[in-house]
Amino acid sequence: MSTSTVGSKHSVSLLEGEVVEENDLGSMRRVTVDDLPILKNLSIKRVLLNPGAMRTPHWHANANELTYCISGTALVSILDDHNRFSTFIVTAGQMFHADSGSLHHIENIGTDVAEFVIAFRHERPEDFGLGATFGAFTDAVLGNTYDLPASDLAKIRRTTVDRKLAARIGASDIPASAYFDDPHKFDVEAQPPSLNYASGRARFARDQFWPALKDISMYSLRVTETGMREPHWHPITGEMGYLHYGEARMTIMNPDGSLDTWTLKPGDTYFIPTAYPHHIENIGTGDWHILVFFDQPFPADIGFRASTSAYTREVLAAAFDTHIENLPNFPFTPADPLVVNRLNPVD
């Protein structure tokens, strides 16, 4: 078995990910299966928008999108099928969801940089920009579409290359309805923690609380310097995480018995395939915060505490190839705690 403290095939830095677009308006970087080959069903993007900048209207051809706002204030618009249109404001700690194929845009309407971490329900998402698609058709075809002479469309600069970041022209037009609740939006950090321990807490964005989610979800997990996420696995879902802040150490066991152990730093993203056992603990001097994305609307897990409670001591002794009297006094745990106290020093 081998371990590593400098990196892993399960993890890369999103801050150093593939540059999709970068200029004085902001930046877009992503990690797909091309950058992290172990990815399956999920990928991730980080978008920074400077004041007055926008991610232009676009849609994804093969992936639902789940976005978490790290900082800033933005106006989001979404045009779904059947011409259902929504526009709403998101701020730090809030999220929004856009179905695959839905036309949407994100516009920074604040005075600070707006930062977003976006998970996609595909390891290699495909995009179409509204502006770029106009470049696919002739003046006559577009003129016929809008009952206009072809000469009117000839005035628009058109290309099939998507202009992903653009500056807003004029003042932002914010409709009064943008301040109302919307089914696409979820204020995850305003929710009371679904799990709350002395050493950590978790808030859930899953279909139980947010019906818009169909095949993706997110946990906002914070763990103190005295806690750790117990060893566990997810029977039917992969896990993709992004370390927002703090310092954490992760261990993953691969099917061949090899181990990957490494330190996560802010901006790192990782992926754990379905049912791989793993654990993560705080090795810093303050809390850490991880956004954990799943490829299911209601992820489940099996933890080590409940696992030892499920079997007799005779079965456990056989599994560990040891004498019964040498078994620890495992506490009976019918429901896993998710976060446990770190009674022992980091080893």
Taking only the tens place, the pLDDT of each residue in 219-231 is: 999 999 999 999 9
Q: For 128-162, what is each residue's pLDDT tens digit?
A: 999 999 999 999 999 999 999 999 999 998 999 99
Q: What percent of the chain has pLDDT over 90?
A: 92
- Please check the confidence at residue 20 and state whether its pLDDT lies above 70: yes
Q: Please check whether residue 49 is in contact with residue 111, taking contact to mean a CB–CB distance below 8 angstroms.
A: no
Fold match, 13-186 / 194-341: yes
pLDDT tier at 305 (50, 70, 90 boundaries)?
very high
Q: For 90-122, what is each residue's pLDDT tens digit?
A: 999 999 999 999 999 999 999 999 999 999 999
Q: Please check whether residue 108 is in contact with residue 49, taking contact to mean a CB–CB distance below 8 angstroms.
A: yes
Which 8-state DSSP code applies to residue 233? E
pLDDT tier at 3 (50, 70, 90 boundaries)?
very low
Q: Per the structure block, which two tokens stand in for 153?
A: 């469309």
The residues, any chain, with a CB within 8 Å of residue 250's CB and separated by 6 or more, are 8, 10, 11, 260, 261, 262, 264, 270, 278, 279, 280
Q: For 193-213, what is each residue's pLDDT tens digit?
A: 999 998 999 999 999 999 999
pLDDT tier at 7 (50, 70, 90 boundaries)?
low
Q: How far apart are CA 182 and CA 134, in angstroms?
A: 29
Model pLDDT, residue 151: 96
List the Cα angle 70/74/80 in 5-degree steps: 105
Q: How far apart are CA 196 and CA 222, in angstroms?
A: 10
Q: How far apart are CA 46 and CA 29, in angstroms?
A: 5
Continuous H helices in the chain = 130-134, 139-146, 150-153, 304-309, 313-320
Per DSSP bridges, beta strands 227-233 and 278-282 are antiparallel
3-state helix, strand, coil in the chain (%, to 5): 15, 40, 45
Give the global pTM: 0.95
Q: Residue 317 phi/psi, 5° resolution?
A: -60, -40
Q: For 323-343, what is each residue's pLDDT tens digit?
A: 999 999 999 999 888 899 988
User: Domain 13-186 maps to which CATH number in 1.10.4160.10, 3.40.50.300, 2.60.120.10, 2.40.50.140?
Assistant: 2.60.120.10
* Record: fold of 194-341: Jelly Rolls (2.60.120)
Q: For 33-82, what is each residue's pLDDT tens digit?
A: 999 999 999 999 999 999 999 999 999 999 999 999 999 999 999 999 99
What are the boundaries of each domain within the chain? Answer: 13-186, 194-341
* CA end-to-end span of the chain: 17
- Please check the confidence at residue 6 and state whether its pLDDT lies above 80: no
**Mean pLDDT for all residues in the chain:** 95
The residues, any chain, with a CB within 8 Å of residue 190's CB and separated by 6 or more, are 93, 94
3-state SS, one letter per residue, for 26-82: EEEEEECCCCCCCCCCCEEEEEEECCCEEEEEEEECCCCEEEEEEECEEEEEEECHH
